[in-house]
Structure 1
């Protein structure tokens, strides 16, 4: 009998891939309610192993039925996290370029916004920040956000800094909710965005910030928030919120949207 374990290159690769997937899973559920649920399920699984080791047949049989539907339960419980993970893979420009999938679905489509329009968006955010006018702008990328556009008032107007500032002026009926920008147009205003379930966000943040994180968790959109209390500008992409950025940083982030989409084409 050999005292040494034969370790192949594929075995090492297998271990590294599993470790990478577990780490990505941890990043997705960290700071959310799903993390606590995962810990609970893991403890239940350990208890089931203990019951089996002690040959407790009745309890073991009962828990075995529960463990048997574990995969289905995981899909139901972690549906938002699974959706976010698949979105992370599917919206990666390098993956799309390698598989040449992007061109099949975006052929003939206009980019989310041109450079000139993005400058208008940046200028509007700067002016609203100075006057502490609360705002939430969502810029569509590969996903056109049609389901979210239906929740608001359709506008379909050309992008203008003056129009954006007018929409979010606190005495107008459209200032609540989000403005969605799609295909060089202000598609709709007063749109309802999903709120994030993250527990590690600053508790002082309002619904606009939570909606910005929520929509970027569920889609590949880019969100901009102007705080009504402080006038600070924040951005969110892929579920990550970056707070209190300068107008220059905002302009650079908006320019990266065009660069990323050009790389994916």
Structure 2
């Protein structure tokens, strides 16, 4: 049975193990019960043992039929996780480089004329405890989110950002979308994550930031209305208590490629 077992088979096993581990991390981070994934992995191991190792034809045939139906069920149950997994693969720097080479498109980069007003506005809003949620589009378009708010299409300026998020104004509760170096929309509605590992002091703005950063490659800035602190969210990871200097560095294209580390503690 193992006489033809070679290097290719070892590589095959290693790749499957890495894929399963990455899938486990993705499901665990999304807040989905890990018991479901463990049950699936156990079923796959039993399936391989029955069908290919011990070659039990009758039991193997039954499991094959169950697996055919189960695959469709899993796609339905884990549709969000599958989308995030594919997005994480597509957002990898190597994949992006290859895609840019064939499409001729340049990466999403923010100029200083856009970054500086954003940083100044966030710094001022943090001082006055003015809540804000700013979503900066990268390569994945946010047109569907823009349509949920009011279209603006204006130059990025500190005063405009502060006026939009000023307390009791019509658009201050929603999210602002910045794309192609311009403020595209404000008052936008974002999905809210159901992750259970988010600290209790983080409100709806932070949960919305987590959700949009998991579903897209957008960079998200949150200014807390209760604590007057700035947070930066990218790829489902958050960095809290961000200083203006750190925020400017995170928004610089050469630094935003690296994933930010989670720092929940004050």
Please state which band the TM-score falls in when normalised by the shorter chain. 0.7 to 0.9
Map of 1:56-205 to 2, 5 A cutoff? 66-97=66-97, 99=98, 101-102=99-100, 107=105, 111=108, 113-205=110-202
Give the secondary-structure state (helix, strand or coil) at the position aligned to 1:217. helix
Q: TM-score, normalised by structure 1?
A: 0.82
| C-alpha displacement of 1:11 | 2.5
Matched, 1:206 2:199: no
| C-alpha displacement of 1:64 | 7.3
| C-alpha displacement of 1:68 | 3.4
Task: For residues 33-91 of structure 1, give each alpha carbon's deviation from its aligned partner in whole angstroms, at most 9, with x where no partner exists.
Answer: 25343245557779999xxxxxxx9xx96x87654311111111111111111111112
Map of 1:226-265 to 2, 5 A cutoff? 226-256=223-253, 260=257
Task: For residues 131-159 of structure 1, give each alpha carbon's deviation from its aligned partner in whole angstroms, at most 9, with x where no partner exists.
Answer: 11111000001122000000111010100
Give the secondary-structure state (helix, strand or coil) at the position aligned to 1:69. helix
Q: Which moved more, 1:36-45 or 1:26-35?
A: 36-45
Q: In the alignment, which residue of structure 1 is the partner of 2:10?
A: 12
Whose relative contact order is higher, 1 or 2, with alpha carbons under 8 Å and at least 6 apart? 1
| C-alpha displacement of 1:5 | 6.2
**1:197/1:232 CA distance change after superposition, 3 Å:** same
Q: Do 1:110 and 1:183's aligned partners in 2 also have CA atoms closer than 8 Å?
A: no
Q: In the alignment, which residue of structure 1 is the partner of 2:214?
A: 217
Give the secondary-structure state (helix, strand or coil) at the position aligned to 2:129. coil
| C-alpha displacement of 1:93 | 2.5
Give the secondary-structure state (helix, strand or coil) at the position aligned to 1:136. strand
CA distance in structure 1 between the partners assigned to 2:250 and 2:33 by the alignment: 30
Give the secondary-structure state (helix, strand or coil) at the position aligned to 1:137. strand
Q: Do 2:213 and 2:235's aligned partners in 1 also have CA atoms closer than 8 Å?
A: yes
CA distance in structure 2 between the partners assigned to 1:45 and 1:17 by the alignment: 15
CA distance in structure 2 between the partners assigned to 1:256 and 1:110 by the alignment: 9
| C-alpha displacement of 1:259 | 7.0
Q: In the alignment, which residue of structure 2 is the partner of 1:30?
A: 28
Can you give the 5+ residue segments of structure 2 that lack an aligned partner in the other structure? 49-57, 258-266
**1:207/1:40 CA distance change after superposition, 3 Å:** farther
Q: Do 1:112 and 1:140's aligned partners in 2 also have CA atoms closer than 8 Å?
A: no
Please provide the CA RMSD for this pair: 3.1
How many corresponding residue pairs? 249
Give the secondary-structure state (helix, strand or coil) at the position aligned to 1:180. strand
CA distance in structure 2 between the partners assigned to 1:147 and 1:104 by the alignment: 26
Can you give the 5+ residue segments of structure 1 that lack an aligned partner in the other structure? 50-56, 261-265
Q: Do 1:34 and 1:78's aligned partners in 2 also have CA atoms closer than 8 Å?
A: no
